[in-house]
Amino acid sequence: MLQKPRGTRDFLPDEMEARRMIEWSMREVARCWGYREVCTPEFEDLELFTMRSGEGIIEEMYVFSDKGGRKLALRPEITASVIRMYINEAKVAPKPLRWCYFADCFRYERPQKGRYRQFWQFGVELIGADTARADAEVIMLAADMLDSSGVTYDLKVGHLSFMKNLLRDLEPQEQRKVMAHLDKKDFDGLKGTLESLDKPDLDKSLIALVECRDLAEAFDIAGTIPEKDRIYQTLETLDAADVKYSLNFGIARGLDYYTGMVFEGFAQNLGAENQILGGGAYRLAHLFGGDDVASCGFAIGFDRVMVSLGEIPDKKDSVVAVVCTNEGRKLALEVARIFRKAGIQSEMDLMDRGLGAQLAHASKSADFAVVIGLREAESGTVTLKNLHSGEQKTLDPRSAVAEVASHGARR
């Protein structure tokens, strides 16, 4: 028997309904902030990703050649695709552009809890605004979206200017080595690398910055930072909006990608793989042949959010089973249509079951049974039975619709 590919999943209806519920709550938040949805291809030119991240990323991607010999890759993330689209389609559009997306991505890596080879991201890109208020807006939107999902998380905000100032005398490759140690909190490895680079004095300053949670202290450690006023303005905006966050100047990933403000979100119940959000300010367009436009964005790891949430509270609408005898079938078709036009999920028997068997089946999957026999067919009424309480009423079809609609959420 064939199985699904490793690192992928099948989603049955209950799980899909839960995923869609959380997805649409996030969509509604993004809409209210003025962010409009965009969509890019699932595969792109391989160079789009190697140009930014280097050839080493190929080992982590699904790469293939098409029939024309072109090197393509399934997208491992979506920001690069969105910026490519901006350059191709929207360079002259009025700024800022507020874009969002919800899509699947692909990485060839070892599957584990909350980490899959096919995974979904909800992302946001703010293109063309280079201000403290723009940085703050993206963080506030991220917090609102996570809040809408109900996930419990910690939001950490930092700025790469402090780290870059301490590492300004190192070459990019040397900086990456140092950052890899900091990212893993490998302070012994950090000390050894700095000694090999003849920069042993950086050890104490870098560790102090990673452990620092006070803005004034961070300025003391890192020295003069040109972006000082902007950093203060960003944090003041977050505080005025009552965003719950903590400072973290040790956010070490993306030193050669992000340009200033960075932030991350962590779920409280996922163990080691607990990051559910990452973002910051960046400049990518010039790498792909566009203008040097300022951008800011983030991506939410949707699958990890769902794992963190666990069982989602049932908020589905009521389900109606239209149960009928042969004599009532014509009226049953009409009644089912009335319910559906009112937005109520309605199902009819397709298995030629008797009335008792239809009711027995309905009790397993529906909240109400709309019974239509000979008496109901002759009078144009229906018998509405609440399958939870057993209560039943004889009503005209539209009154039955109103009764079900007023019942509220399904069990």
Q: Are residues 160 and 145 in the same domain?
A: no
HEC assignment per residue over the chain: CCCCCCCCCCCCHHHHHHHHHHHHHHHHHHHHCCCEECCCCCEEECHHHHHHHCHHHHHHCCEEECCCCCEEEECCCCHHHHHHHHHHHCCCCCCCEEEEEEEEEECCCCCECCECCEEEEEEEEEECCCCHHHHHHHHHHHHHHHHHHCCCEEEEEEEHHHHHHHCCCCCHHHHHHHHHHHHCCCHHHHHHHHHHCCCCCHHHHHHHHHHCCCHHHHHHHHCCCCCHHHHHHHHHHHHHCCCCCEECCCCCCCCCCEEEEEEEEEECCCCCCCEEEEEEEECCHHHHCCCCCCEEEEEEEHHHHHHHHCCCCCCCCCEEEEEECHHHHHHHHHHHHHHHHCCCEEEECCCCCCHHHHHHHHHHHCCEEEEECHHHHHHCCEEEEECCCCCEEEECHHHHHHHHHCCCCCC
262-283 pLDDT, tens digit per residue, is 999 999 888 888 999 999 999 9
CATH code for the domain in which residue 131 is found:
3.30.930.10
Same domain, 146 and 161: no
pLDDT at residue 315 greater than cutoff 60 = no
Are residues 325 and 306 part of one domain? no
* 295 assigned to some structural domain: yes
Same domain? For 340 and 304 the reply is: no
- For residue 132, being part of any structural domain is answered with yes
Per-residue model confidence (pLDDT) at position 203: 86
pLDDT of residue 255: 60
Say if residue 304 is in the same domain as residue 325. no
Give me the pLDDT at residue 409, please. 42
Determine, yes or no, domain membership for 121: yes
Its domain, for residue 16, covers 9-151+268-315
**Would 4 be classed as within a structural domain?**
no
Residue 52 confidence (pLDDT) above 80: no
- Per cent of the chain over pLDDT 70 is 97
Do 78 and 182 belong together in one domain? no
| pLDDT for the residue 94 | 96
Residue 411 has pLDDT above 90, yes or no: no
Query: Is 224 found in the same domain as 124?
Result: no
Task: Look at residue 326 and tell me if it is in a domain.
Answer: yes
Condensed to tens digits (0 to 9), the pLDDT of residues 196-222 reads 998 888 889 999 999 999 999 999 999
Q: Span 6-34, mean pLDDT?
A: 95
Q: Do the domain assignments include residue 411?
A: no
Per residue in 358-410, pLDDT (tens digit) is 999 999 989 999 999 999 999 999 999 999 999 999 999 999 999 999 875 44
Over 70: is that where the pLDDT of 343 sits?
A: yes
Residue 254 lies in a domain: no
Whether residue 198 is contained in a domain is answered as yes
Q: Quick one: 329 and 390 in the same domain? A: yes
pLDDT at residue number 376: 95
Q: Are residues 94 and 240 in the same domain?
A: no
My answer on whether 125 and 26 are in the same domain is: yes
pTM: 0.89
- Tell me, yes or no, whether 179 and 217 share the same domain: yes
Same domain for 51 and 123?
A: yes
Structurally, the chain folds into a number of domains equal to 3
